[in-house]
Amino acid sequence: MNRVQTACYCLLASAFIIGALVLVQSNRLIDTRAHAEMLVNKGFVTMVSTQSFQQDAELVYVLESKSEVLMVYTLDPNRRIIELLPGGALHLGRAFEMAIGNQPAAPAGGYQKRAR
């Protein structure tokens, strides 16, 4: 093996090493974080909290899958207040039925189970 071949192999090996380093470091440029602050799934209830447009408040989405109701609450940790948003409860079954044109949707009136 002469000097030119040795230099080519060293150059090729260093190119692979630099390529691997670039690939590993490029993961820092990709945002892989979830944008929800917190997700809790227990039984038939799923809760997700996200930052509100108001700086001090958070929105808490509660999906109760057994009765197909989605509720949206505002959470203000500074004042320790949790409130259901006006119109913040939506019966998802009715909303999807309205979307396909079967019947008009209405806000959830409680946890009554529909007859099927």
- Residues 47-98 have pLDDT tens digits of 888 877 766 778 888 988 888 888 888 887 777 888 888 877 888 888 888 8
Q: What does the pLDDT look like over 11-55, one tens digit per residue?
A: 899 998 998 888 888 777 766 555 556 778 888 888 888 877 766
3-state secondary structure of 25: helix
Strand partners for 42? 45
What are the residue ranges spanned by the domains of the chain?
A: 1-32, 38-99
- Tokens representing 1? 């093996």
Per the CB < 8 A criterion, the answer to whether 104 and 98 are in contact is yes
Enter the pTM of the model.
0.52
Q: What are phi and psi of 42, to 5 degrees?
A: -140, 115
Q: Which amino acid is at 32?
A: T
| Residue 103 reports pLDDT greater than 70 | no
